[in-house]
Amino acid sequence: MATEATKKAAQSAAKEATRAAFGETLVELCKEGLDVVAVDADLAGSTTLAKLASYDPDRLVDVGIAEQNMVGVAAGLSVTGHIAFTGSFAVFGTGRCYDQIRNTVADANLNVKICPTHAGITVGEDGATHQMLEDISLMRGLPNMRVLVPADFHATKACLKLAAKEWGPVYVRMGRYPVAPVYDSSVVAEFEGANVLREDAAAGGAAAGDGATKSLTIFACGVEVSEALQAADILAEKGIEATVVDVYCIKPINKKVIVEQAKKTGRVLTVEEHSIYGGLGSAVAEVLSENSPTPVKMLGMTTFGTSAPGGVVLHHFGLDAEGIARAAEEFCA
């Protein structure tokens, strides 16, 4: 068995940003014969969509710095039978063109995949204007739109493939922060998907939430899945058993898994690098309040972000493993 140190070293060596999967996956989909065309807004290098242009220049349309037109053009491409992906950064690729996404793409249920990168506070140095914290809530509110927030490189590939192969609008949230692998290349994604990655073996034995059993369920998405798994290690050393669930499909959400896993521990902590208003925490709380009322603590953002390296920003806002463990410990106290 590998020591903690070697495990950490292996993980660290293999860290990759979810955005790194974008261009590569679209090239694979083209090679599979799917009629994929992507539209980006002067960020093809950053989103990695430049890889698609290297494969076939006709497959990437760069509209320049014009996100509203990016979404409109993608809508038109989808009408003509192409599977259209949009790029840009999450802050521009959802906020600047929200009306186009709402009134043209979602209402008409077009086959357009809204797939920006650079979401959340882990954007880091660029600071608050570039750290999108409301995209999940914006996209989740739209009829017809499905919302996927993959945890790592391989999960992102799986989510992009799912988006390409299912009809209709899908939002895939990607980031620039290198994240330790959670999955291997065999991972597949599905709508209403949620993966229980770490289960509290003792949970369910004693009456949930009775105080005798120190356990809780952590629902996380995106980069926070990896942080939550590390937090669970820290918590285990302190005698707190954490179940960790990757809720990568925020809409449609898997109610069954959320209710089941919440019932087991009687305490729910949600973690996201996104506003707690309308994001994963809200989605989980909606399910639980209607189906199985459970105390919920939401970790996420309530302010704008700030400049610093991504990991430092995560730490600053208490959204790294240490911060999650601290919040969980207080919650269980």
Partner 1 sequence: MANEKEWRAAKKTDGQTALLANHIRHDIIRMLAQSKSGHPGGSLSASDIVASLFTSGTMNFDAENPSWEDRDHFLLSKGHAAPVLYALYHQLGWISDADLMTLRQLDSKLQGHPDSHALPGIDVCAGSLGQGLSVAAGEALGFLLDAKASGEEPTHVFVLLGDGEMQEGSNWEALMFAAHQNLTNLTAILDLNNLQIDGFVTEVNSLGDIDAKIKAFGWNVLHVNGHDVAEIKDALVKGRSLTDAPTMIICDTIKGKGVSFMENQAKWHGSAPNEEQANEAIAELDQQKVDIEKEYGVTEADVPFATMRK
- Beta carbons of 95 and 138 less than 8 angstroms apart: yes
Total site size for partner 1, rule CB under 8 A: 31
66 sits near partner 1 (criterion: CB under 8 A): yes
Per-residue tokens: 58: 């006709």
CA 124 and chain centroid, separation: 17
Pairing label, strands 268-275, 296-301: parallel
Contact string 75-94 vs partner 1 (x = CB under 8 A)? xxxxxxxx-x----------
Q: What is residue 106's DSSP assignment?
A: I
Task: Scan residues 22-41 and list those touching partner 1 (CB under 8 A).
Answer: 37, 39
206 binds partner 1 (CB under 8 A): no
The residues that bridge with 241 in the sheet, in sequence order, are 215
Greatest Cα-to-Cα distance within the chain, rounded to the nearest angstrom = 62
219: DSSP letter: E
10, 14, 45, 99: which one contacts partner 1 (CB under 8 A)? 99
Min. distance of Cβ 101 from partner 1 in angstroms?
A: 11
Cα–Cα distance, 220 to 271 (Å, whole number) = 5
Amino acid in the structure at residue 129: T
Secondary structure (DSSP) of 96-137:
ITHHIIIIIIITTT-SEEE--B-BSGGGGGG-GGG-B-SHHH
141 near partner 1, rule: CB under 8 A:
no
Residue with Cβ nearer partner 1 (46 or 68): 68
Options 30, 38, 44, 74; binder of partner 1; rule CB under 8 A: 74
Question: Least CB distance from residue 3 to partner 1, whole Å?
Answer: 54
64/211 with CB nearer partner 1? 64
- Residue 107 as a binder of partner 1 (CB under 8 A): the answer is yes
| Residues lying near partner 1 in the complex (CB under 8 A) | 37, 39, 58, 61, 63-64, 66, 68-69, 71-82, 84, 99-100, 102-104, 107-110
